[in-house]
Amino acid sequence: MTAGEKRGLIVTAVIFLVAAMLPLVNQGYWLSIGVSIAMYTVLATSWTLFSGPTNYIALSTAAFFGIGMYLVAAFLDWAPFPVLVLMAVVVGAAFAAVIGLATLRISGVYFVIFTLGLTELVRQVVAWMQHVMGTSSGLYVLISMTDPILYWLLLALSAIVFAIGWWIGRSRLGFALRIIGNDEVVAEHSGINTARAKVYLFVISSAFAALTGALVAPRWSYVEPTIAFSPFLSFQVVIMALLGGVHRLWGPLLGVIPFTLLWELISANFPAQTTLVLGVAFLLIVYFIPHGVVGLFEDLMRNRHGRLDSIKGTLLRWRSGNA
């Protein structure tokens, strides 16, 4: 580990420690905002693990989130909560593997379209299954989970996501994904099985979404397909990640915090305009902040050193031209 990396690790640890103290200071409104921020951090960062390097916009977060939540809600009477959370990971990963193998070989655009309707598809199937089995569509989740516990669990989960993201970044898999994101033809000719690499990341990313859904299930005492499979969730996660910047591990976090706060504001004061806000956010990002906050920041840094770099580049070109 380089000195810079050690510094980064210490800073990250400090940030997590400070964040962990929130429940000691506030047990009400700000804690529940904290829970939301922690939850979206997990979702947006794990989304970026896949969609960042590959540039495949996955709109399926809500599908896996809902599966995790529904698994817990449906089987809480038969199995203990931790077991169900684990099952959510397994089921989510398996489902993601099937979808990934089927659709990631084909094309980025078709994949995006497919994930767009996936949430709705799963919702329809779940509702139909319940209808067929004669159970009511709403399920009661009666397990007590206080906000502080949920907050610490989500915080720990986001630490895990960051750790995995960091590990992947230094691994061969991470390198393979960067190459794929740059030029898939070169990746294939360099010996990379691009379909397999994409599937691995998609599975990891989706498993985290399922895990998160399972963890937060107790927050709602009554779960219905429309709640578990809310289409907005996928879009919010995408906006947050893009807003923050998908080319750095800590990028999405920079999008999660402002957007969550904004969303709270809008939902409280203009609840009918939430769709409009989503639309405006997407448009602003695409047209004005395509590389996210991280991108803006790094552009600023580069412009300061810009002139120096271009002189260096010219000198190097002149030298290597005479080799």
Partner 1 sequence: MDIIIIGLLLGGTYALMAMGLQLQYGVARIMNLANGEILVCGAFGAIWFFTASKLSPIYAVLFVVPLAFAANWAIYQWMMLPLVKRAKNQGQLEVDSILATFGLSFFVIGILLAVFGGEFLTYSYLAQPVRIFGEPYALNRIAAFIGSAVLCAGLYAWLHWTRAGLTMRAVSVNPGAAGLVSINVTRASALAFALGGAVTAAGGVLLSMFLTFDASLGVAFTLKALIIVIMGGVNDVRGAIIASFILGLTETAVATLVDPGLTLAAAYILFIVILLVRPEGLFGRRAS
Partner 2 sequence: MPSGAATAALTVAGVFKRFGGLVAVDSMSFTLAENEVLGLIGPNGSGKTTMMNLISGALKPSAGRISFYDDDISGMPANVIAQKGVARTFQIVRMLPSLTVIENVAAGGVFGHRKRWGAELHDHAHDLLRRVGLENVDDVPVTALTYIDQKRVELARALASDPKILLLDEWLAGLNPTELQTGIALIERLRAEGRTIIIVEHVMHAIRSLCDRCIVMNSGAKIAEGTPQQVLADSEVIRAYLGDADA
Min. distance of Cβ 139 from partner 1 in angstroms? Answer: 18
- Among residues 10, 79, 86, 124, the one that binds partner 1 under rule CB under 8 A: 124
Which of these segments, 40-48, 116-124, 164-172, 247-255, binds partner 1 (CB under 8 A)? 116-124
**CA dist 160 → 23, 26, 58, 156 (Å):** 20, 24, 21, 6
Taking the CA atoms of residue 273, residue 275, residue 280 and residue 282 in that order, the dihedral angle to the nearest 10 degrees is: 160
Phi-psi sector, 292: left (phi>0), alpha (psi -120 to 50), beta:
left
| Interaction pattern, residues 210-249, with partner 2; x per rule: CB under 8 A | ----------------------------------------
Element (H, E) at 232: helix 231-244
Q: CA 133, CA 151: separation in Å to the nearest integer?
A: 35
Paired tokens of 167: 């590990």
- Among residues 80, 86, 128, 302, the one that binds partner 1 under rule CB under 8 A: 128
Which residue reads 């552009």 in tokens? 299
287 touches, from partner 2, partner 1, none (C-beta below 5 to 8 Å by class):
partner 1
| 131 lines the binding site for partner 2 (CB under 8 A) | no
| 127 lines the binding site for partner 1 (CB under 8 A) | yes
Min. distance of Cβ 316 from partner 2 in angstroms? Answer: 6
| 2 lines the binding site for partner 2 (CB under 8 A) | no
What are the residues facing 222 on neighbouring strands?
Answer: 140
Min. distance of Cβ 299 from partner 1 in angstroms? Answer: 15
Q: Is residue 219 classed exposed, middle or buried when 0-12, 13-18 and 19+ CB atoms within 10 A define those classes?
A: middle
Q: How many residues does the chain have?
A: 323
| Interaction pattern, residues 187-216, with partner 2; x per rule: CB under 8 A | xxxxxxxx----------------------
Q: Is the Cβ–Cβ distance between 151 and 23 less than 8 Å?
A: yes
| Interaction pattern, residues 253-282, with partner 1; x per rule: CB under 8 A | -------------------xx-xxxxxxxx
Q: Given the complex with partner 2, which of 60 and 194 has the nearer CB atom? A: 194
| 51 lines the binding site for partner 2 (CB under 8 A) | no
φ, ψ dihedrals at 100, nearest 5°: -60, -45
Paired tokens of 104: 């990631």
Which residue reads 């050690």 in tokens? 6
| 183 lines the binding site for partner 2 (CB under 8 A) | yes
Which residue reads 């294939």 in tokens? 188
Element (H, E) at 224: none
Residues that bind partner 1 (CB under 8 A): 55, 57, 102-103, 106-110, 112-114, 116-118, 120-121, 124-125, 127-128, 131, 231, 235, 242, 272-273, 275-283, 285-287, 290
Residues that bind partner 2 (CB under 8 A): 172, 175-176, 178-179, 181-183, 185-194, 313, 316-317, 319-321, 323
